[in-house]
Chain A
Amino acid sequence: MRIWLSQHQDAARLALRRLAAAPVNSLLSLLAIGIALALPAGGQMLLANALQLSGTTSAVPQISVFMATNAERQAATEIGERLGRHAGVKQVLFVPREETLARMKSGPGLREVIEALPANPFPDAFVVSVADESLAAMERLSVEFRQWPKIEHVQLDSAWVRRLDALLKLGRTTVLLLAALLGTGLIAISFSIIRMQVLTQRSEIEVSRLLGATNGYIQRPFLYFGVFLGLGGGVLAWLLVAAAALWLRAPLAELARLYDLTLALQTLGARDSALLLGFAASLGWLGAMISMRQHMQQY
Protein backbone atom coordinates (compact mmCIF):
# COMPACT_ATOMS: atom_id res chain seq x y z
CA MET A 1 0.00 0.00 0.00
CA ARG A 2 2.82 2.39 0.90
CA ILE A 3 4.68 1.38 -2.23
CA TRP A 4 1.55 2.03 -4.29
CA LEU A 5 1.10 5.41 -2.71
CA SER A 6 4.70 6.47 -3.19
CA GLN A 7 4.65 5.33 -6.82
CA HIS A 8 1.56 7.48 -7.39
CA GLN A 9 3.29 10.38 -5.69
CA ASP A 10 6.34 9.94 -7.91
CA ALA A 11 4.18 9.76 -11.03
CA ALA A 12 2.25 12.89 -10.07
CA ARG A 13 5.46 14.74 -9.30
CA LEU A 14 6.97 13.67 -12.63
CA ALA A 15 3.83 14.86 -14.45
CA LEU A 16 4.05 18.26 -12.75
CA ARG A 17 7.74 18.49 -13.61
CA ARG A 18 6.94 17.80 -17.25
CA LEU A 19 4.24 20.46 -17.21
CA ALA A 20 6.70 22.95 -15.75
CA ALA A 21 9.50 21.90 -18.10
CA ALA A 22 7.72 23.43 -21.11
CA PRO A 23 5.85 26.38 -19.57
CA VAL A 24 4.82 28.02 -22.84
CA ASN A 25 3.46 24.79 -24.30
CA SER A 26 1.67 23.96 -21.08
CA LEU A 27 0.17 27.40 -20.80
CA LEU A 28 -1.13 27.38 -24.36
CA SER A 29 -2.61 23.91 -23.90
CA LEU A 30 -4.28 25.00 -20.67
CA LEU A 31 -5.60 28.10 -22.42
CA ALA A 32 -7.09 26.04 -25.24
CA ILE A 33 -8.82 23.75 -22.75
CA GLY A 34 -9.84 26.65 -20.51
CA ILE A 35 -11.50 28.58 -23.31
CA ALA A 36 -13.23 25.49 -24.64
CA LEU A 37 -14.64 24.77 -21.18
CA ALA A 38 -15.48 28.40 -20.46
CA LEU A 39 -18.23 28.35 -23.10
CA PRO A 40 -20.48 25.72 -21.53
CA ALA A 41 -19.48 26.86 -18.03
CA GLY A 42 -20.44 30.45 -18.88
CA GLY A 43 -23.70 29.23 -20.39
CA GLN A 44 -24.44 27.32 -17.21
CA MET A 45 -23.73 30.44 -15.16
CA LEU A 46 -26.16 32.53 -17.21
CA LEU A 47 -28.73 29.77 -17.01
CA ALA A 48 -28.43 29.51 -13.24
CA ASN A 49 -28.93 33.26 -12.98
CA ALA A 50 -31.94 33.21 -15.30
CA LEU A 51 -33.44 30.36 -13.28
CA GLN A 52 -33.02 32.36 -10.13
CA LEU A 53 -34.63 35.34 -11.81
CA SER A 54 -37.63 33.35 -12.99
CA GLY A 55 -37.88 31.86 -9.50
CA THR A 56 -38.35 35.28 -7.92
CA THR A 57 -41.19 36.27 -10.23
CA SER A 58 -44.68 34.89 -9.55
CA ALA A 59 -45.28 31.87 -11.65
CA VAL A 60 -48.87 31.46 -10.46
CA PRO A 61 -50.87 31.67 -13.66
CA GLN A 62 -53.65 34.22 -13.70
CA ILE A 63 -56.12 35.57 -16.21
CA SER A 64 -56.66 39.30 -16.53
CA VAL A 65 -60.13 40.29 -17.71
CA PHE A 66 -60.57 43.86 -18.95
CA MET A 67 -63.98 45.53 -19.31
CA ALA A 68 -64.69 47.82 -22.25
CA THR A 69 -63.80 51.43 -21.34
CA ASN A 70 -67.39 52.53 -21.99
CA ALA A 71 -68.87 49.85 -19.72
CA GLU A 72 -70.89 50.97 -16.70
CA ARG A 73 -69.84 50.05 -13.17
CA GLN A 74 -73.05 48.04 -12.99
CA ALA A 75 -71.89 45.82 -15.87
CA ALA A 76 -68.59 45.30 -14.13
CA THR A 77 -70.31 44.26 -10.91
CA GLU A 78 -72.37 41.73 -12.84
CA ILE A 79 -69.35 40.28 -14.50
CA GLY A 80 -67.64 40.12 -11.11
CA GLU A 81 -70.52 38.11 -9.67
CA ARG A 82 -70.61 35.86 -12.71
CA LEU A 83 -66.89 35.20 -12.40
CA GLY A 84 -67.25 34.48 -8.70
CA ARG A 85 -69.95 31.88 -9.41
CA HIS A 86 -68.02 30.16 -12.21
CA ALA A 87 -66.83 26.65 -11.32
CA GLY A 88 -63.38 27.06 -12.93
CA VAL A 89 -62.56 30.21 -10.95
CA LYS A 90 -60.81 30.04 -7.59
CA GLN A 91 -60.54 33.70 -6.71
CA VAL A 92 -61.43 37.03 -8.26
CA LEU A 93 -59.78 40.38 -7.54
CA PHE A 94 -61.54 43.50 -8.79
CA VAL A 95 -59.29 46.37 -9.90
CA PRO A 96 -61.41 49.54 -10.39
CA ARG A 97 -60.33 51.89 -13.22
CA GLU A 98 -59.75 54.78 -10.75
CA GLU A 99 -57.21 52.72 -8.87
CA THR A 100 -55.35 51.89 -12.05
CA LEU A 101 -55.30 55.56 -13.02
CA ALA A 102 -53.91 56.57 -9.61
CA ARG A 103 -51.20 53.88 -9.79
CA MET A 104 -50.14 54.90 -13.30
CA LYS A 105 -49.98 58.56 -12.36
CA SER A 106 -47.54 57.80 -9.56
CA GLY A 107 -45.16 56.16 -12.03
CA PRO A 108 -42.40 58.34 -13.49
CA GLY A 109 -42.86 60.00 -16.86
CA LEU A 110 -46.46 58.91 -17.38
CA ARG A 111 -48.18 61.61 -15.31
CA GLU A 112 -48.00 64.30 -18.02
CA VAL A 113 -49.23 61.93 -20.71
CA ILE A 114 -52.19 60.76 -18.64
CA GLU A 115 -53.15 64.23 -17.51
CA ALA A 116 -53.18 65.38 -21.12
CA LEU A 117 -55.89 62.81 -21.93
CA PRO A 118 -59.51 63.97 -21.71
CA ALA A 119 -60.79 60.94 -19.81
CA ASN A 120 -59.59 57.95 -17.80
CA PRO A 121 -58.16 55.65 -20.47
CA PHE A 122 -58.12 52.57 -18.20
CA PRO A 123 -60.94 50.02 -17.95
CA ASP A 124 -62.19 48.19 -14.93
CA ALA A 125 -60.40 44.89 -14.61
CA PHE A 126 -60.43 41.55 -12.83
CA VAL A 127 -57.49 39.37 -11.89
CA VAL A 128 -58.71 35.80 -11.88
CA SER A 129 -56.98 32.83 -10.23
CA VAL A 130 -58.18 29.54 -11.63
CA ALA A 131 -58.71 26.07 -10.21
CA ASP A 132 -57.05 24.19 -13.10
CA GLU A 133 -53.77 25.88 -13.98
CA SER A 134 -52.99 23.88 -17.11
CA LEU A 135 -52.52 25.97 -20.23
CA ALA A 136 -55.34 24.25 -22.10
CA ALA A 137 -57.87 24.81 -19.30
CA MET A 138 -56.88 28.45 -18.97
CA GLU A 139 -57.15 29.03 -22.68
CA ARG A 140 -60.62 27.48 -22.65
CA LEU A 141 -61.62 29.82 -19.83
CA SER A 142 -60.26 32.91 -21.56
CA VAL A 143 -62.16 32.09 -24.74
CA GLU A 144 -65.32 31.70 -22.67
CA PHE A 145 -64.84 35.00 -20.80
CA ARG A 146 -64.19 36.82 -24.05
CA GLN A 147 -67.72 36.07 -25.21
CA TRP A 148 -69.32 37.63 -22.14
CA PRO A 149 -70.93 41.09 -22.65
CA LYS A 150 -68.89 44.27 -22.26
CA ILE A 151 -65.60 42.41 -22.01
CA GLU A 152 -63.00 43.98 -24.25
CA HIS A 153 -59.95 41.86 -23.67
CA VAL A 154 -58.82 38.72 -21.83
CA GLN A 155 -55.16 38.06 -21.24
CA LEU A 156 -53.28 35.03 -19.97
CA ASP A 157 -50.72 36.49 -17.57
CA SER A 158 -48.76 33.28 -17.36
CA ALA A 159 -47.82 33.38 -21.02
CA TRP A 160 -44.49 35.10 -20.49
CA VAL A 161 -43.55 32.82 -17.62
CA ARG A 162 -44.24 29.86 -19.83
CA ARG A 163 -42.24 31.44 -22.60
CA LEU A 164 -39.35 31.99 -20.18
CA ASP A 165 -39.59 28.37 -19.06
CA ALA A 166 -39.43 27.20 -22.64
CA LEU A 167 -36.48 29.49 -23.27
CA LEU A 168 -34.69 28.15 -20.21
CA LYS A 169 -35.28 24.59 -21.37
CA LEU A 170 -33.77 25.50 -24.70
CA GLY A 171 -30.87 27.14 -22.88
CA ARG A 172 -30.27 24.03 -20.83
CA THR A 173 -30.22 21.85 -23.93
CA THR A 174 -27.83 24.25 -25.61
CA VAL A 175 -25.47 24.17 -22.63
CA LEU A 176 -25.56 20.37 -22.58
CA LEU A 177 -24.88 20.25 -26.29
CA LEU A 178 -21.99 22.69 -25.95
CA ALA A 179 -20.60 20.71 -23.02
CA ALA A 180 -20.77 17.46 -24.98
CA LEU A 181 -19.19 19.02 -28.05
CA LEU A 182 -16.39 20.86 -26.27
CA GLY A 183 -15.89 17.97 -23.85
CA THR A 184 -15.13 15.80 -26.85
CA GLY A 185 -12.77 18.53 -27.97
CA LEU A 186 -11.03 18.39 -24.61
CA ILE A 187 -10.55 14.62 -24.93
CA ALA A 188 -9.02 15.20 -28.37
CA ILE A 189 -6.69 17.92 -27.06
CA SER A 190 -5.56 15.76 -24.14
CA PHE A 191 -5.12 12.80 -26.50
CA SER A 192 -2.82 14.62 -28.87
CA ILE A 193 -0.81 16.36 -26.15
CA ILE A 194 -0.19 13.04 -24.40
CA ARG A 195 0.72 11.51 -27.74
CA MET A 196 3.39 14.14 -28.24
CA GLN A 197 4.58 13.58 -24.69
CA VAL A 198 4.92 9.88 -25.38
CA LEU A 199 6.96 10.63 -28.50
CA THR A 200 9.37 12.91 -26.66
CA GLN A 201 9.67 10.45 -23.75
CA ARG A 202 10.13 7.50 -26.07
CA SER A 203 13.61 6.55 -24.86
CA GLU A 204 12.57 6.74 -21.24
CA ILE A 205 9.58 4.51 -21.90
CA GLU A 206 11.73 2.02 -23.77
CA VAL A 207 14.40 1.90 -21.05
CA SER A 208 11.80 1.60 -18.28
CA ARG A 209 10.19 -1.28 -20.12
CA LEU A 210 13.54 -3.05 -20.49
CA LEU A 211 14.20 -2.57 -16.79
CA GLY A 212 10.97 -4.33 -15.89
CA ALA A 213 8.39 -1.56 -15.70
CA THR A 214 4.77 -2.69 -15.94
CA ASN A 215 2.32 -0.96 -18.26
CA GLY A 216 0.74 0.62 -15.19
CA TYR A 217 4.04 2.17 -14.15
CA ILE A 218 4.68 3.55 -17.63
CA GLN A 219 1.19 4.97 -18.05
CA ARG A 220 0.88 6.55 -14.63
CA PRO A 221 2.76 9.84 -15.14
CA PHE A 222 0.99 10.39 -18.47
CA LEU A 223 -2.41 9.82 -16.92
CA TYR A 224 -1.58 12.30 -14.17
CA PHE A 225 -0.43 14.70 -16.85
CA GLY A 226 -3.84 14.37 -18.52
CA VAL A 227 -5.64 14.94 -15.22
CA PHE A 228 -3.56 18.02 -14.42
CA LEU A 229 -4.12 19.35 -17.93
CA GLY A 230 -7.89 18.96 -17.58
CA LEU A 231 -7.93 20.28 -14.04
CA GLY A 232 -5.79 23.30 -14.93
CA GLY A 233 -8.01 24.01 -17.91
CA GLY A 234 -11.05 23.73 -15.64
CA VAL A 235 -9.60 26.21 -13.16
CA LEU A 236 -8.82 28.57 -16.02
CA ALA A 237 -12.37 28.22 -17.36
CA TRP A 238 -13.74 28.97 -13.89
CA LEU A 239 -11.60 32.11 -13.67
CA LEU A 240 -12.70 33.21 -17.15
CA VAL A 241 -16.35 32.79 -16.21
CA ALA A 242 -15.86 34.59 -12.90
CA ALA A 243 -14.11 37.47 -14.68
CA ALA A 244 -16.89 37.66 -17.25
CA ALA A 245 -19.51 37.68 -14.48
CA LEU A 246 -17.74 40.52 -12.70
CA TRP A 247 -17.43 42.47 -15.89
CA LEU A 248 -21.04 41.96 -16.97
CA ARG A 249 -22.54 42.53 -13.54
CA ALA A 250 -22.92 46.31 -13.69
CA PRO A 251 -24.31 46.62 -17.25
CA LEU A 252 -26.69 43.67 -16.70
CA ALA A 253 -27.96 45.09 -13.41
CA GLU A 254 -28.70 48.32 -15.22
CA LEU A 255 -30.55 46.50 -17.96
CA ALA A 256 -32.53 44.57 -15.37
CA ARG A 257 -33.45 47.80 -13.58
CA LEU A 258 -35.04 49.03 -16.78
CA TYR A 259 -37.33 46.00 -16.62
CA ASP A 260 -38.02 46.59 -12.94
CA LEU A 261 -35.97 43.56 -11.90
CA THR A 262 -33.11 43.28 -9.43
CA LEU A 263 -30.31 41.16 -10.78
CA ALA A 264 -26.81 40.72 -9.37
CA LEU A 265 -25.04 38.32 -11.73
CA GLN A 266 -23.61 35.45 -9.67
CA THR A 267 -20.60 33.42 -10.74
CA LEU A 268 -20.73 29.59 -10.76
CA GLY A 269 -22.07 28.07 -7.57
CA ALA A 270 -20.24 25.43 -5.50
CA ARG A 271 -22.05 22.54 -7.16
CA ASP A 272 -21.46 23.78 -10.69
CA SER A 273 -17.82 24.59 -9.91
CA ALA A 274 -17.18 21.11 -8.53
CA LEU A 275 -18.96 19.66 -11.56
CA LEU A 276 -16.83 21.72 -13.94
CA LEU A 277 -13.54 20.70 -12.31
CA GLY A 278 -14.55 17.04 -12.03
CA PHE A 279 -15.71 16.99 -15.64
CA ALA A 280 -12.48 18.64 -16.85
CA ALA A 281 -10.20 16.33 -14.85
CA SER A 282 -12.03 13.17 -15.97
CA LEU A 283 -11.98 14.16 -19.63
CA GLY A 284 -8.25 14.99 -19.43
CA TRP A 285 -7.70 11.58 -17.91
CA LEU A 286 -9.85 9.90 -20.56
CA GLY A 287 -7.92 11.52 -23.41
CA ALA A 288 -4.63 10.42 -21.84
CA MET A 289 -6.02 6.91 -21.30
CA ILE A 290 -7.04 6.52 -24.95
CA SER A 291 -3.66 7.85 -26.04
CA MET A 292 -1.76 5.41 -23.80
CA ARG A 293 -3.98 2.50 -24.78
CA GLN A 294 -3.14 3.18 -28.41
CA HIS A 295 0.56 3.48 -27.64
CA MET A 296 0.65 0.28 -25.57
CA GLN A 297 -0.87 -1.71 -28.40
CA GLN A 298 2.47 -1.51 -30.20
CA TYR A 299 4.01 -3.83 -27.61
Chain B
Amino acid sequence: MIRFERVSKRYPPGLDALSDVSCEVAEHEMALVCGHSGAGKSTLLKLVAGVEKPSGGALLIGGQNLAALSRSALPFLRRRIGMVFQDQKLLFDRTVFDNVMLPLSIVGFPRRDAAQRVRAALDKVGLANREKAMPVMLSGGEQQRLAIARAVVNRPSLLLADEPTAHLDAETGADVARIFHEFHHVGVTVMIATYATELFPAARRLQLDHGRLLS
Protein backbone atom coordinates (compact mmCIF):
# COMPACT_ATOMS: atom_id res chain seq x y z
CA MET B 1 0.00 0.00 0.00
CA ILE B 2 2.82 2.41 0.92
CA ARG B 3 6.24 2.09 -0.65
CA PHE B 4 9.29 4.25 0.10
CA GLU B 5 12.01 4.01 -2.54
CA ARG B 6 15.20 5.73 -1.37
CA VAL B 7 13.20 8.63 -0.02
CA SER B 8 14.99 11.61 1.48
CA LYS B 9 13.72 14.81 2.95
CA ARG B 10 15.94 17.78 3.45
CA TYR B 11 14.77 20.97 5.12
CA PRO B 12 16.55 24.19 4.31
CA PRO B 13 19.27 25.20 5.00
CA GLY B 14 20.57 21.64 4.84
CA LEU B 15 19.02 19.56 7.57
CA ASP B 16 18.45 15.97 6.51
CA ALA B 17 15.30 14.76 8.27
CA LEU B 18 15.23 11.52 6.29
CA SER B 19 17.93 9.98 4.14
CA ASP B 20 17.67 7.08 1.77
CA VAL B 21 14.64 5.43 3.37
CA SER B 22 13.29 2.37 1.60
CA CYS B 23 10.52 0.24 3.04
CA GLU B 24 7.01 -0.97 2.44
CA VAL B 25 3.83 -1.15 4.47
CA ALA B 26 1.36 -3.72 3.19
CA GLU B 27 -2.38 -3.32 3.09
CA HIS B 28 -4.14 -4.13 6.40
CA GLU B 29 -0.79 -3.99 8.18
CA MET B 30 -0.10 -2.15 11.43
CA ALA B 31 3.30 -0.48 11.46
CA LEU B 32 5.01 1.53 14.18
CA VAL B 33 7.48 4.24 13.35
CA CYS B 34 9.84 4.52 16.29
CA GLY B 35 13.07 6.24 17.18
CA HIS B 36 14.50 8.99 19.30
CA SER B 37 13.21 12.52 19.26
CA GLY B 38 14.23 14.12 15.97
CA ALA B 39 14.78 10.76 14.27
CA GLY B 40 12.34 11.69 11.51
CA LYS B 41 9.15 9.96 12.67
CA SER B 42 6.84 12.91 12.13
CA THR B 43 8.50 13.75 8.83
CA LEU B 44 7.87 10.24 7.60
CA LEU B 45 4.17 10.48 8.42
CA LYS B 46 3.92 13.96 6.91
CA LEU B 47 5.36 12.62 3.66
CA VAL B 48 2.76 9.84 3.56
CA ALA B 49 -0.03 12.34 4.20
CA GLY B 50 1.23 14.65 1.48
CA VAL B 51 1.80 17.47 3.99
CA GLU B 52 5.46 17.53 2.94
CA LYS B 53 7.01 16.55 -0.37
CA PRO B 54 10.05 14.27 -0.54
CA SER B 55 13.27 15.93 -1.69
CA GLY B 56 14.45 12.75 -3.37
CA GLY B 57 13.33 9.20 -4.17
CA ALA B 58 9.82 7.98 -4.85
CA LEU B 59 6.94 7.56 -2.46
CA LEU B 60 4.06 5.47 -3.74
CA ILE B 61 0.69 5.23 -2.06
CA GLY B 62 -1.67 2.74 -3.64
CA GLY B 63 0.58 2.80 -6.73
CA GLN B 64 0.47 6.59 -7.00
CA ASN B 65 3.75 8.54 -6.84
CA LEU B 66 3.30 11.47 -4.48
CA ALA B 67 6.17 13.42 -6.02
CA ALA B 68 4.30 13.48 -9.32
CA LEU B 69 0.98 14.41 -7.76
CA SER B 70 -0.31 17.83 -8.78
CA ARG B 71 -1.32 20.35 -6.17
CA SER B 72 -4.95 20.18 -7.17
CA ALA B 73 -4.97 16.37 -6.77
CA LEU B 74 -3.57 16.51 -3.25
CA PRO B 75 -6.90 17.18 -1.46
CA PHE B 76 -8.34 14.01 -2.97
CA LEU B 77 -5.42 11.94 -1.70
CA ARG B 78 -5.85 13.39 1.80
CA ARG B 79 -9.52 12.43 1.84
CA ARG B 80 -8.52 8.77 1.61
CA ILE B 81 -6.20 9.06 4.60
CA GLY B 82 -7.25 9.49 8.22
CA MET B 83 -4.78 11.51 10.24
CA VAL B 84 -4.33 12.00 13.98
CA PHE B 85 -1.95 14.89 14.50
CA GLN B 86 0.56 15.25 17.30
CA ASP B 87 -1.12 18.50 18.36
CA GLN B 88 -4.57 17.13 17.43
CA LYS B 89 -5.60 20.28 15.58
CA LEU B 90 -9.13 20.33 16.95
CA LEU B 91 -11.31 23.36 16.27
CA PHE B 92 -12.07 24.84 19.65
CA ASP B 93 -14.91 27.06 18.48
CA ARG B 94 -16.96 24.09 17.29
CA THR B 95 -18.74 21.35 19.17
CA VAL B 96 -17.44 17.79 19.33
CA PHE B 97 -20.10 16.85 16.77
CA ASP B 98 -19.10 19.61 14.34
CA ASN B 99 -15.42 18.75 14.66
CA VAL B 100 -16.13 15.22 13.49
CA MET B 101 -18.53 16.53 10.84
CA LEU B 102 -15.84 18.64 9.16
CA PRO B 103 -14.25 15.91 6.97
CA LEU B 104 -17.71 14.87 5.77
CA SER B 105 -18.80 18.38 4.88
CA ILE B 106 -15.50 18.82 3.00
CA VAL B 107 -16.33 15.88 0.74
CA GLY B 108 -19.95 17.02 0.50
CA PHE B 109 -21.47 14.01 2.23
CA PRO B 110 -25.31 14.11 2.29
CA ARG B 111 -26.28 15.84 5.52
CA ARG B 112 -28.59 13.25 7.05
CA ASP B 113 -26.31 10.28 6.42
CA ALA B 114 -23.41 12.38 7.66
CA ALA B 115 -24.99 12.88 11.08
CA GLN B 116 -25.37 9.12 11.40
CA ARG B 117 -21.76 8.57 10.45
CA VAL B 118 -20.57 11.17 12.96
CA ARG B 119 -22.51 9.48 15.75
CA ALA B 120 -21.16 6.08 14.76
CA ALA B 121 -17.57 7.43 14.85
CA LEU B 122 -18.13 9.11 18.23
CA ASP B 123 -19.67 5.90 19.56
CA LYS B 124 -16.64 3.94 18.41
CA VAL B 125 -14.25 6.07 20.49
CA GLY B 126 -16.63 6.24 23.48
CA LEU B 127 -17.72 9.87 23.10
CA ALA B 128 -21.32 9.19 22.09
CA ASN B 129 -22.75 11.22 24.96
CA ARG B 130 -20.40 14.22 24.52
CA GLU B 131 -21.41 15.35 21.03
CA LYS B 132 -22.71 18.73 22.16
CA ALA B 133 -19.68 19.49 24.34
CA MET B 134 -16.96 21.91 23.26
CA PRO B 135 -13.43 20.45 22.96
CA VAL B 136 -12.11 22.52 25.91
CA MET B 137 -14.54 20.68 28.17
CA LEU B 138 -12.92 17.34 27.31
CA SER B 139 -10.05 15.69 29.17
CA GLY B 140 -6.75 15.04 27.38
CA GLY B 141 -7.70 11.46 26.65
CA GLU B 142 -11.13 12.48 25.37
CA GLN B 143 -9.58 15.11 23.08
CA GLN B 144 -7.27 12.45 21.67
CA ARG B 145 -10.24 10.16 21.08
CA LEU B 146 -12.12 13.01 19.41
CA ALA B 147 -9.15 13.50 17.06
CA ILE B 148 -9.32 9.79 16.23
CA ALA B 149 -13.08 9.97 15.58
CA ARG B 150 -12.48 12.83 13.15
CA ALA B 151 -9.74 10.83 11.42
CA VAL B 152 -11.89 7.76 10.87
CA VAL B 153 -15.30 9.27 10.12
CA ASN B 154 -14.53 9.17 6.38
CA ARG B 155 -13.78 5.43 6.74
CA PRO B 156 -10.28 5.78 5.29
CA SER B 157 -8.31 2.72 4.26
CA LEU B 158 -5.17 4.24 5.80
CA LEU B 159 -4.94 5.68 9.30
CA LEU B 160 -1.89 7.71 10.36
CA ALA B 161 -1.20 8.82 13.93
CA ASP B 162 1.62 10.94 15.29
CA GLU B 163 2.32 10.26 18.98
CA PRO B 164 -1.33 9.50 19.81
CA THR B 165 -0.58 8.37 23.36
CA ALA B 166 1.90 11.08 24.35
CA HIS B 167 0.76 13.20 27.32
CA LEU B 168 -1.74 10.49 28.37
CA ASP B 169 -1.58 8.42 31.56
CA ALA B 170 -0.98 4.70 31.17
CA GLU B 171 -4.62 3.69 31.45
CA THR B 172 -5.90 6.27 28.95
CA GLY B 173 -3.00 5.48 26.63
CA ALA B 174 -3.94 1.80 26.65
CA ASP B 175 -7.50 2.79 25.91
CA VAL B 176 -6.45 4.83 22.87
CA ALA B 177 -4.17 2.00 21.69
CA ARG B 178 -7.11 -0.38 21.92
CA ILE B 179 -9.10 1.84 19.55
CA PHE B 180 -6.29 1.69 16.97
CA HIS B 181 -6.19 -2.09 17.30
CA GLU B 182 -9.92 -2.24 16.63
CA PHE B 183 -9.54 -0.31 13.40
CA HIS B 184 -6.64 -2.53 12.41
CA HIS B 185 -8.81 -5.60 12.99
CA VAL B 186 -11.51 -4.38 10.61
CA GLY B 187 -8.95 -4.04 7.84
CA VAL B 188 -7.60 -0.50 8.08
CA THR B 189 -3.90 -0.03 7.40
CA VAL B 190 -2.45 1.75 10.42
CA MET B 191 0.84 3.66 10.79
CA ILE B 192 1.70 5.09 14.18
CA ALA B 193 4.71 7.16 15.17
CA THR B 194 5.27 6.50 18.87
CA TYR B 195 7.65 5.97 21.77
CA ALA B 196 5.13 3.75 23.53
CA THR B 197 5.88 0.62 21.51
CA GLU B 198 4.78 -1.60 24.39
CA LEU B 199 1.17 -0.57 23.73
CA PHE B 200 1.31 -2.17 20.29
CA PRO B 201 3.21 -5.42 20.85
CA ALA B 202 2.06 -7.18 17.68
CA ALA B 203 2.86 -4.35 15.26
CA ARG B 204 5.81 -4.30 12.88
CA ARG B 205 8.45 -1.73 13.77
CA LEU B 206 10.22 0.70 11.50
CA GLN B 207 13.14 1.94 13.58
CA LEU B 208 14.54 5.33 12.57
CA ASP B 209 17.87 6.70 13.70
CA HIS B 210 18.95 10.18 12.63
CA GLY B 211 16.80 9.98 9.54
CA ARG B 212 17.98 6.53 8.49
CA LEU B 213 15.94 3.35 8.68
CA LEU B 214 17.61 0.55 10.67
CA SER B 215 16.90 -2.87 9.30
A: residues with CB less than 8 A from B are: 2-4, 6-7, 10, 203-204, 206-215, 217, 299
Contact = CB atoms under 8 A, between A and B. Distances in A.
Contact of A213 (B75, B85, B111): B75
A222 to B, nearest CB: 15
Contacts of A204: 91, 93
A212 B107 contact: yes
B51 A211 contact: no
Contacts of B78: 210-212
Interface residues of B, number: 23
A210 B85 contact: yes
A207 B107 contact: no
A7 B106 CA distance: 8
Nearest to B89: A207
A204 to B, nearest CB: 6
A66 B71 CA distance: 84
Interface of B: 49, 51, 71-72, 75-79, 83, 85, 89, 91, 93, 102-103, 105-108, 110-111, 150
B89 A212 contact: no
Contacts of A217: 106
Given A209-B75, A210-B78, A213-B106, 5 more contacts: A3-B110, A6-B108, A204-B93, A207-B102, A210-B49
B91 A211 contact: no
B107 A203 contact: no
Nearest to B80: A212
Nearest to A208: B106
Contact of A10 (B72, B93, B105): B105
Given A203-B89, A204-B91, A206-B89, A211 B103 contact: yes
Given A203-B91, A204-B91, A207-B91, A212 B103 contact: yes
Nearest to B51: A210
Nearest to A207: B89
A214 to B, nearest CB: 5
B106 A211 contact: yes
Contacts of B76: 212
Contacts of A210: 49, 51, 78, 83, 85, 89
Contacts of B91: 203-204, 207
Contact of A208 (B49, B85, B102, B108): B102
A10 B107 CA distance: 12
Contacts of B49: 210
A222 B51 CA distance: 24
Residue picked from B75, B79, B89, most chain A C-beta under 10 Å: B75
Given A6-B111, A203-B91, A207-B91, A212 B85 contact: no
Nearest to B104: A211
Contacts of B85: 210
B148 to A, nearest CB: 14
Nearest to B88: A207
A37 B72 CA distance: 38
A212 B76 CA distance: 6
Contacts of A6: 108, 110-111
29 contacts: A3-B110, A6-B108, A6-B110, A10-B105, A203-B89, A204-B91, A204-B93, A206-B89, A207-B89, A208-B102, A209-B75, A210-B49, A210-B51, A210-B83, A210-B89, A211-B102, A211-B106, A211-B150, A212-B75, A212-B76, A212-B78, A212-B103, A213-B75, A213-B106, A214-B72, A214-B75, A215-B72, A217-B106, A299-B71
Residue picked from A7, A213, A215, most chain B C-beta under 10 Å: A213
A3 to B, nearest CB: 4
B89 A4 contact: no
A3 B103 CA distance: 14
A71 B35 CA distance: 120
A206 B51 CA distance: 11
Residue picked from A207, A209, A212, A213, most chain B C-beta under 10 Å: A212
Nearest to B78: A212
A299 B74 CA distance: 12
A211 B103 CA distance: 6
A203 B89 CA distance: 8
A7 to B, nearest CB: 5
A203 B91 CA distance: 7
B108 A3 contact: yes
A131 B91 CA distance: 80
A10 B79 CA distance: 19
Contacts of B93: 204
B69 to A, nearest CB: 13
Contacts of B51: 210
B153 to A, nearest CB: 10
